[in-house]
Amino acid sequence: MPVELEDYIKEKAALVEEALRGYLDFAAGAPERLAAAMRYACLNGGKRIRPVLMLSVMEILNGYVSQILPAACALELVHSYSLAHDDLPCMDDADLRRGRPACHKQFDEAAALLAGDTLQAYAYEVLIRGCDKAGVEPRRILKLSKELSRASGIYGMAGGQMTDLSGAALALPDLQKMHERKTGALLKYAVLAPLYVAETAKPQRQALNQYAEAVGLAFQIKDDILDVEGTAESLGKTPGKDLDQQKNTYVTLLGLDKARELLRQEMSKAYEAAEFFGARNRLLDIARYLLERKN
Amino acid sequence: MPVELEDYIKEKAALVEEALRGYLDFAAGAPERLAAAMRYACLNGGKRIRPVLMLSVMEILNGYVSQILPAACALELVHSYSLAHDDLPCMDDADLRRGRPACHKQFDEAAALLAGDTLQAYAYEVLIRGCDKAGVEPRRILKLSKELSRASGIYGMAGGQMTDLSGAALALPDLQKMHERKTGALLKYAVLAPLYVAETAKPQRQALNQYAEAVGLAFQIKDDILDVEGTAESLGKTPGKDLDQQKNTYVTLLGLDKARELLRQEMSKAYEAAEFFGARNRLLDIARYLLERKN
């Protein structure tokens, strides 16, 4: 990744990190162990790719970053709760998360469950309180909140997870629907949330919609391809795990060649949409970074 | 309970039930198993005491019941999610809920976890969408949403549960704080939410605050006393369970006599606050129903 982009991402991620730390610094009297489990689950060295994307879109729309930062934090709180719950024994039963013990290993299952529940509840308080303080109009804050609820609910992340868990073999349209929900919905929220706050014209909205859908889809295909063609060294995990577990992936369904072809198509759509905002811009950089990565 | 009050509660509970059924009737394309688990966890024959209380307060304030019904449903969605999660093996490990298999027994643990997560997310969509449709001003919907988030978060329900789970022996102020959060916060939200929507004067607000706090506290003391003095027949469960499990209760901490004395004090406060709205009114009836019950 070009150094300049790296700096840009680092700077934006640091902004989000600082805001999250502030929000998770509870007053005396809050149950300490719960607060600690929430911080552990959220302040975990995550790349903050969704919030960074959100702030970048806000900048491209010439909106105030301070007015979207609370939504970026709320989104990350929701993402963090989902990881803490995903790692639980009844779900993925993962002992490690980013090289550290998963939340339920560091604390215990009940604490990880409650920490996740509380992170989700807190997302709405952070969004509403933060946006109100930043002067966002009430009607716009409601839109941000409602769309976060939808993106993480039955038609979004949680619905996609349920379909994924079922383990049934999926046809291509169902596989796409599953991924659109499971990982696509929050990515899409990251790209579209700034539209709910900043003034925008229709062509901008169309470009961002196309960008959000193409990036979301391509991101998942790329993930599936990397699982097959990546080396253990570059991935930092064992490649071929999806194949072994007979998971529904673009590669198992389409084969590697067709999956690559579909990835190329979606990348073109994403880049085309990004270029609406200029021949070189951050959205284009970030799409390239996400879709041309090696791990 | 007087027949007239029984009819009143039934009528209001039916209104909530119908609205909840409508909200949980998802369009085709929603993951069916998740939708089924959500319905199972929420449409479970619950008494809907919190929503009924909310609607009663709205009537006493001469507000439009339709404008608070979405918040009543959202509150019940949050309450339902907490029960589905509470019953999980890592929490109370309860096989039964209201005489039926608990959600994780009827489905499985992952489904119960996801159903709870999704019910929580959905609460905010229901609240925002429903209130908007009912013509509630955006600023008031934001207040309703923010307070629901607080009542169910680290300073509310989830925080109280975490303290309760810790099992540490608590002194009286800490026991009260724990209950204020664990069960009191959502009860208080039920009483105070109408204030965020209907126009009210300060004396009404003060009376409702006193009512909410006294009912919340007295309700828990009553529960603890019933566990000791109730018969298995009237309770429908084994009495003395709290004592056996050395749980933190008002009775274990204060002894039965002092607990009864504290209950009487809080009942007086609740009744006094209710009488602000007239010598006979629904809030008084409901407080009596909750605090003079035999099971």
CB contact under 8 A, A34 and B158: yes
Of residues B33, B145, B146, nearest to A162 (C-beta):
B33
At residue B194, what are phi and psi to the nearest 5 degrees? -60, -30
Cβ distance B149 to A139 less than 8 Å, yes or no, reads no
Single out the residue of A272, A248, A250, A271 nearest to residue A262, CA to CA. Answer: A250
For residues A235 and A155, membership in a common domain is answered with no
For A28, residues 6+ apart whose C-beta sits below 8 A from its C-beta are none
pLDDT at A234 over 70: no
| B134 neighbourhood in chain A, CB within 8 Å | none
Q: Residue A245 has what pLDDT?
A: 62
Helix (H) or strand (E) holding B128: helix B109-133
Q: At A189, which amino acid appears?
A: Y
- Terminal CA-to-CA distance of chain A, rounded, Å? 12
Task: Examine the domain organization and report whether A159 and A73 are in the same domain.
Answer: yes
Structure confidence at residue B237 as a pLDDT band (50, 70, 90): low
| Boundary (domain end) residue, out of B149, B169, B200 | B200
Between B65-86 and B109-133, two packed helices, what is the crossing angle to 10 degrees? 170
Q: How far apart are CA B102 and CA B86, in angstroms?
A: 10
**Average pLDDT of the segment spanning A155-164:** 96
Kindly list the residues from chain B whose CB atom is less than 8 angstroms away from the CB atom of residue A128.
142, 145-146, 149
DSSP character string of A64-109: -HHHHHHHHHHHHHHHHHHHHHHTSTTTT--SEETTEE-HHHHS-H
In this structure, are A16 and A160 located in the same domain? Answer: yes
Band of pLDDT at residue A283, cut at 50, 70 and 90 = very high
Helices of type H across chain A: 3-23, 32-42, 49-60, 65-86, 103-106, 109-133, 138-152, 157-166, 172-179, 185-197, 202-229, 232-235, 241-244, 250-254, 256-275, 282-291
Neighbours of B103 (CB within 10 A): 28
A95 lies in the same domain as A1: yes
Per-residue confidence (pLDDT) for residue A279, from 0 to 100? 87
Same domain, yes or no: B145 and B271: no
In this structure, what are the phi and psi dihedrals at residue B100, rounded to the nearest 5 degrees?
-115, 165
Q: Which residues of A touch B116 (CB under 8 A)?
A: 117
Do B116 and B255 reside in the same domain of the chain? no
CB of B132 closer than 8 Å to CB of B118: no
Which pLDDT value is given to residue B227?
Answer: 86
Question: Smallest Cβ distance to A31: which of B38, B124, B163?
Answer: B163
Q: How far is CA B273 from the centre of its chain?
A: 20
Q: Determine, yes or no, domain membership for A180.
A: no
> A90 vs B81: CB contact, 8 Å cut-off?
no
For residue A97, the cross-strand partners are A100
State which amino acid sits at residue B5.
L
Q: Does the predicted interface ipTM exceed a cut of 0.90?
A: yes
Cα nearest neighbour of A117 on chain B: B117
- Which of B200, B217, B242 is the last residue before a domain boundary? B200
Per-residue CA distances from A217 to A249, B51, B91, B115 (Å): 12, 41, 37, 25
> Same structural domain for residues B168 and B279?
no
Range of the domain at A268: 201-295
Looking up residue A4, the CATH number of its domain turns out to be 1.10.600.10
Domain boundary among B162, B179, B200: B200
Nearest to A190 by CA among A163, A217, A209: A209
> B154 and A129: CB-CB below 8 Å?
no
Task: Provide CB contacts within 8 A for A12, sequence distance 6+.
Answer: A48, A51, A52, A55, A56
Say yes or no for a CB contact (<8 Å) between A117 and B114. Answer: no
Nearest-Cα distance to chain B for A289, in Å, is: 31
**CB < 8 Å to A125, chain B:** 146, 149-150, 153
Nearest alpha carbon to residue A204 among A27, A52, A37, A62: A62
Tell me, yes or no, whether B209 and B196 share the same domain. Answer: no
Tell me the mean pLDDT in the region B187-206: 95
What is the predicted pLDDT for the residue at A247?
A: 77
Nearest to A151 by CA among A75, A50, A56: A75
Gap between the Cα atoms of A20 and B231, Å rounded: 50
Q: Are residues A145 and A221 in the same domain?
A: no
- pLDDT of the residue at A161: 96
Same domain, A18 and A105: yes
Q: What percent of chain A has pLDDT over 90?
A: 82
Inspect the interface and report whether the beta carbons of A125 and B31 lie closer than 8 Å.
no
Nearest CA in chain A to B89: A110
B73 CB-contact burial (10 Å; exposed 0-12 / middle 13-18 / buried 19+)? buried
Q: Is residue A188 part of a domain?
A: no
pLDDT in tens, B15-74: 999 999 999 999 988 999 999 999 999 998 888 999 999 999 999 999 999 999 999 999
- Whether residue A135 is contained in a domain is answered as yes
pLDDT band, very low/low/confident/very high, at A124 (cuts 50, 70, 90):
very high
How many folded domains does chain B comprise?
A: 2
User: In Å, how far is A5's CA from the nearest CA of chain B?
Assistant: 34
pLDDT at B76 over 60: yes
Chain A residues close to B149, C-beta within 8 Å: 121-125, 128
Read off the pTM. Answer: 0.95
Interface contact flag, B162 A125, Cβ < 8 Å: no
Of the candidates A38, A111, A158, which has its C-beta nearest B114's C-beta? A158
Whether residue A31 is found in the same domain as residue A149: yes
* Rounded CA separation B63/B67 (Å): 8
Domain co-membership, B225 together with B169: no
Chain B, nearest residue to A93 by Cα: B110
How many C-beta atoms surround the C-beta of residue B280 within 10 A?
Answer: 9
Residue B230: band (very low, low, confident or very high) from pLDDT cuts 50, 70, 90: confident
